[in-house]
Amino acid sequence: MSLNRLAPEHRALLQQEIAAALETVKKWRHRLHQLPEIAGHETETSAFIRATLPQLGITPHAPWLETDVIADLPAAATAGNDSRCIGLRADIDGLPVTENNALPYCSTHPGMMHACGHDGHAAMLLGTALVLSRLPQLRRHRVRLIFQPGEEMVCMGRKLAATEACDGVDEIYALHGWPGLPVGAVSTLPGVMFGTGAHFTIRIIGRGAHGAQPENGLNPVPAAGKIAWELQQLHERYTRQNAVISVCRIEGGKAANSIPAEVLIQGTTRYFDAGLNQPIAAAIRELVQTSCEPIGLKWQFDYDDSYRLPVYNHPAQVEKIAALAEDFLPGTWIAADKPPRAREVFAFCLDRCGAGAMFWLGLGEKQPPLHNPAFDFNDQALTNGITMLTLLALAD
């Protein structure tokens, strides 16, 4: 269905169904907000989704990664046997953050909350499934609904994309709620939309001793200071390539008069060019080695680059998002000018499918930021999110 072939009566019907679904979607969102679970352990969340889909006449597949939920909607019989498949993806995991809100639907899981809006993402995809289930005559394509676990922390999207979850999907789309944009705004850009990067862990291993007798030990603390300083110099060099190397944690010793046996250094790297991944890792490894080995210190270095791909939006699909937003939601489209350094595992679904895009959904200029204990997904944005996902499933 192209934009020009969506008849006025069908536009009105679509708006009517979305409006009718809104209160149900809000209830789903609030219930999901109460059930935040950490990557790979989204058992209550996936059980809720699996129990809800059959109520819409949709039967989910058996899971590929235990807590994922994937289901297919067929195209209308009039679409023929050669219909395309459109994938819609939502992440479902929470964060290890203690909620600081006084909401009637606050997290019921101590130390966990939906601080990144995945409750909203999942609820909007369920809402899209509800609308699509009520409009079978408008479905020109098959639609695959993908509720993905582990977007945060363990990169389960890469594991899911490596299964058959994306097989046969011709185009795939996702959205991300975005504080700072007007409520309901739709924004994205072609090319890199989210960056990539890694976490690094360095252990410097010496020999503990009393602080009054340093000759009996091998102090790793001075080497740790040297490494931290040189990492900052490395960061300064890589800023010319729009990359970041940040030391975020140094831990060693527990007393002022005791030389520790080892020191831990941890940090993160971020960049938009995936080609920088290995050069940066090699540079960090080399400076650790040359700082430790000449003075007899042992060392360990781990560079977790699981999120190794940037989110790459395909230009044709970005044009589709912009056209749909401008046509159906006038005044909501905002062309983005640059990507953030945040990471997003939707990159692996895009890479597997070869066509698709992600867009930001505005949650309000004054909304608390993502990953903040005071964050809550803005229900006022739900209508536009469901509208965009539904249109992307229906449009050519």
pLDDT value for 293: 96
Would you say 222 and 203 are in contact if contact means Cβ atoms under 8 Å apart?
A: no
Mean pLDDT of 301-320: 94
| pLDDT at 314 exceeding the cut of 80 | yes
pLDDT value for 5: 55
| pLDDT at 1 exceeding the cut of 50 | no
Non-local (6+) Cβ contacts of 110 within 8 A are 98
Report the percentage of the chain scoring pLDDT > 90: 86
Distance CA 48, CA 215 (A): 62
Report the percentage of the chain scoring pLDDT > 70: 97
pLDDT per position as a tens digit, 354-393: 899 999 999 999 999 999 999 999 999 999 999 999 999 9
| pLDDT at 4 exceeding the cut of 50 | no
Supply the pTM of this predicted model.
Answer: 0.91
pLDDT value for 157: 85
Please give the domain boundaries of the chain with CATH numbers for all domains.
Answer: 3-194+310-394 (3.40.630.10), 196-304 (3.30.70.360)
State the amino acid at position 335 in one-letter form.
A
Among residues 196, 89, 209, 108, the alpha carbon closest in space to that of 150 is found at 89
pLDDT per position as a tens digit, 48-86: 999 999 999 999 999 999 999 999 999 987 766 667 999
pLDDT value for 85: 95
Q: Which residue has the tokens 């007899």?
A: 296
pLDDT per position as a tens digit, 120-162: 999 999 999 999 999 999 998 999 999 999 999 888 888 898 8
Structure tokens at 351: 């890479």
Report how far apart, in Å, the C-alpha atoms of 222 and of each of 235, 240, 251, 353, 382 are. Answer: 20, 29, 13, 49, 53
pLDDT per position as a tens digit, 107-116: 999 999 999 9
| pLDDT at 315 exceeding the cut of 80 | yes
pLDDT value for 164: 87
User: DSSP alpha helices (H): ranges in the chain?
Assistant: 8-33, 43-52, 118-134, 156-161, 221-238, 277-292, 315-328, 346-353, 382-394
pLDDT per position as a tens digit, 197-225: 999 999 999 999 999 999 999 999 999 99
Among residues 234, 277, 229, the alpha carbon closest in space to that of 250 is found at 229
Query: Dihedral of CA 49/54/56/58: which sign?
Result: positive
CA 108 to chain CA centroid, Å, is 23
Mean pLDDT of 15-23: 96
Distance CA 174, CA 88 (A): 6
Structure tokens at 258: 């005791």
| pLDDT at 269 exceeding the cut of 90 | yes
Any bridge partners for residue 269, and if so which?
A: 198, 245
Distance CA 348, CA 1 (A): 27
Would you say 353 and 171 are in contact if contact means Cβ atoms under 8 Å apart?
A: yes
